[in-house]
Chain A
Amino acid sequence: MTTREITLKTEPFVLNVGPLHPSTHGVYRMRTTLDGEVVLDIEPVFGYLHRGIEKLMEERTFTGIIPLTDRLDYISPMSNNLAYCLAVEKLCGIKVPERAEYLRVIMAELQRLANHCIAVGSFLNDAGAYFTPFMYTFREREKIVDLFEMVSGQRMTYNYMRIGGVSQDIPEEFLPALAKLLDQLERFVDEYDFLLKENEILIARAKGVGILPKEVAINCGISGPVARASGIRRDLRRDDPYSIYDRFEFDIPVGENGDSYDRYRVRVAEMRQSLRIIRQAMKDIPAGPVKAEVPQVVRPPAGEVYAHIEAPKGELGFYIVSDGSIAPYRCHVRPTSLINLTALRQMVRGWKVADLIVIFGSIDITMGEVDR
């Protein structure tokens, strides 16, 4: 008896993940080619949130641009404000008062904590812990946002920093409230880490998944916690200190394997370092003015400048060309999130669809910054 061989004809299958998929953190679309459940290739599709911010910047005064920067990475507006203001100050040669420098550092580090709360929470959400960890991290983020509301009146798009300082001094009750919050956050990070560090499911889903080798990360221009998880010890707060970061003691946590688990671990470790920096800044904050004497309409000299900061997601920079008028001739944002997505294609090939979601979640992007 002869056995008839059955040959199944298979062909790759195209699946659109996004643009309105809960795990895409905004309106990002991955045109995924699948072989069964295995990802063969992805093709990223951008532009659903493109508002032409770089063009809008050319038509506003230098001060009028600050609210636009809030809308780039809307998860961490304080960092965007800071990077932009540093660029204009570098161009004009404005010296920022001491108190303002300390306030900026406190706000930027609180912003990093708030960002990492969301990054870690949504990463675990993507890994299948449906909304339980997200609720806890959001609860802590709310407390940070309460402090931001205290100083700026806003719970998003804070628009707090100004060219030459910050918009207003902190109210009296801010520092006591901050001290209380730091104690709470410290306990929270410890507890959270204790619950998750050796969590079997998290390790199964994230350890060894989506490895980004060091050489690839450097070649792709990856920055921030994603790069540090791959073992690149680069942090602009240390390597190219801006503001007054050279006065504080802190460590730069790095990962070893460059997998999704390491990216998560680096973020948790960074939260501890941020708490450390805020404590030092709180101790030394001097009295005095919070804004330099800057004209109402800033008119920088003709020239060009690039200033960058270590934003929660990586290197955020502003390249500004001025022709001596009240508006920039050209203002380019170095988009951390867009560049960090470059390596995604290599990272997900060969993994399953469920892993694709985890790997993407571990990069932590904001579409407002990708599309601009």
Chain B
Amino acid sequence: MTVILKAKDIIARLSEKFPGCLAEAGTDSVLVEAAAIPAVVQYLREGEGLEFDYLNFITAVDYYQYFEVVYHLTSLKHNHAIFLKTRCYDRENPSVPSVVGIFQGADFQEREIYDLFGIKFEGHPDLRRIFLWEGFPGHPLRKDFNQ
């Protein structure tokens, strides 16, 4: 059974390394400061006893006040998993650092979020729309998208 690690425990382990970047968002998801995402993901991937080497998925949710980007990581070795979240409050020009450099599997998924939510992933090597054509007006999965 894959164990979903409790946010408390993860924060307790990482707070020394990333002071002030982490907070709890529910019992099993960790809220991370957007700028710290690549460093935190990198550490989670390589840290002793953590070894989250598998990125299940990335997605985003529009909560009107902010966009939430959700990362789900699993460790194949220890069979435990974690949910990471980050928020961006800027509706006009939202951006989050990309994790493609760490997990190649993020490539298409970040492009999908860029396409459907308009969130820019800084550092993505090829950030273009993936499903809709260039010039499509708006981003359909935003809650205020006018059909």
Contact = CB atoms under 8 A, between A and B. Distances in A.
Interface of A: 46-47, 50, 52, 54-55, 216, 218-222, 232, 234, 239-241, 304, 306, 308, 315, 317, 319, 321, 329-330, 332, 334, 338-339, 341-343, 371-372
B61 A339 contact: no
Contacts of A332: 57, 59
Query: Interface SS of chain A: helix, strand, loop or mixed?
Result: mixed
B43 interface: no
Contacts of A234: 76
A334 B59 CA distance: 9
B103 A221 contact: yes
A232 B54 CA distance: 12
B141 A54 contact: yes
Interface of B: 1-2, 26, 53-57, 59, 61-62, 70, 72, 76, 79, 83, 103-105, 107-109, 112, 116, 130-133, 140-141
B140 A317 contact: no
B107 A342 contact: yes
Given A55-B140, A334-B56, A342-B108, A46 B131 contact: yes
Nearest to A47: B131
Contacts of B133: 47
A341 B108 contact: yes
Contacts of B83: 306
Contacts of A338: 108-109, 112
Contacts of B131: 46-47, 50, 371-372
23 contacts: A47-B132, A50-B131, A50-B132, A54-B116, A218-B76, A219-B103, A220-B103, A221-B54, A221-B56, A221-B57, A221-B103, A239-B1, A240-B79, A304-B26, A306-B72, A306-B83, A308-B56, A329-B61, A330-B62, A338-B108, A341-B108, A342-B104, A371-B131
Contacts of A317: 56-57
Given A46-B130, A50-B132, A315-B56, A219 B108 contact: no
B136 to A, nearest CB: 10
A329 B109 CA distance: 20
